[in-house]
Amino acid sequence: MEAVKVVETELEKVRTAAERFATNVGKVLVGKDQTVRLIFVALLCEGHVLVEDVPGVGKTLLARSSARSLGSSFRRIQCTPDLLPSDIMGLQYFNPKTSEFEFRPGPIVANIVVIDEINRAMPRTQSALLECMQERQITVDLATLPLPRPFLILATQNPIEQEGTFPLPEAQLDRFLLQAGLGYPAADEEGAILARFGESNPLDTLTSVLSGEELLALQGICRQVFVEPSVAGYLVGLVRATRDHADVRLGASPRASLGLHQAAQALAAIQGRNFVIPDDIKALAVPVLSHRLILKPEARLRGCTAATVIEGLLETLPVPAD
């Protein structure tokens, strides 16, 4: 009984932290509670997030306000076609004062890294991010250096513009835990945006509400959330069904199964539960899986999307009864 009390106390820490984070980001963003919750789920999983939407809806604002809400080192990278891997990773340079080569770290060496318009970087630069996104380390010349923990990338992407952009490779998309969007605000929300940003930018005065050490501790709590075998089987069945779907050329990977499992644990903890239910998996299936699927050309011509494929599977897949 005492162990249950301890777990409940720890879960309360997760729930309270989620509320503080949402309230803080809500000082900048208007009416995006669902997206902000997804961002915090990713933080609890130490997973990277791809924010994709049309220009001007607040993608960069979401990434920067989320990063500022954490009391950790923060860097921002603006991607352009001439951006080089060394501009991100850092380089070895010769110091004439010491007559030795020294390493000058790049902006990737931080806890929270915002990569704006990631699809504007050349494929060579995009591929340089693969190691740090998965292994959380960088290799410069012959030296391999670990990145600080926690380490998370919040990347933004504009799906409309095609000129001067380069599609993200499948290997990189698969390294993003989830993909989020914002959409246009409602009429009353847009009015609130005008009032909030009329005199000053609230991002300038935003303070942190959660330290890196606290976040690491919360991540450990979330990994202890129980996943009953039948619920785990439901998750595996959903992921495997994407590989056999008639409209899908490339389904979700085992990395997607792990990501959905951890995200469901985090979502359950945010809601104050020490166990995962099928509804947690349903709520996260599209954000975690949709960007990993590659549809067949004929399916795309019919207007089929990865989200509709996953939603269709959720409707037909048997749900555990207990």
Q: Tell me the per-residue pLDDT of 19-76, one tens digit each, with 9 for 90 and over.
A: 999 999 999 988 888 999 999 999 999 999 998 888 888 888 888 888 889 888 888 9
184 and 253, same domain (yes or no)? no
**Which DSSP symbol is given to 73?**
-
We report the CATH number of the domain holding residue 107 as 3.40.50.300
Q: What distances in angstroms separate CA 137 from CA 128, 143, 228, 271, one per listed residue?
A: 11, 10, 33, 32
Contact 269, 252 (CB under 8 A): no
On whether residue 293 sits in a domain, the answer given is yes
Percent of the chain at pLDDT above 90? 52
248 and 152, same domain (yes or no)? no
On whether residue 27 sits in a domain, the answer given is yes
On whether residue 12 sits in a domain, the answer given is no
248 and 291, same domain (yes or no)? yes
We report the CATH number of the domain holding residue 240 as 1.10.8.80
On whether residue 220 sits in a domain, the answer given is no
155 and 90, same domain (yes or no)? yes
End-to-end CA distance of the chain: 23
Work out the pLDDT band at 143, boundaries 50, 70, 90. confident
Q: Tell me the per-residue pLDDT of 209-241, one tens digit each, with 9 for 90 and over.
A: 998 889 999 999 999 999 999 999 999 999 999
* Domain containing residue 30: 17-196
92 and 148, same domain (yes or no)? yes
246 and 135, same domain (yes or no)? no
Contact 92, 101 (CB under 8 A): yes
- Tell me, yes or no, if the pTM score tops 0.85: yes
Query: For the stretch 176-208, what's the b/e string if a residue is b when 16 or more beta carbons lie within 10 angstroms of its beta carbon?
Result: bbbbbbbeebeeeeeeebeeeeeeeeeeeebee
Q: How far apart are CA 110 and CA 68, in angstroms?
A: 13
Query: Which residue among 151, 175, 196 closes a domain?
Result: 196
Where do we find the tokens 């509320």?
Answer: 19
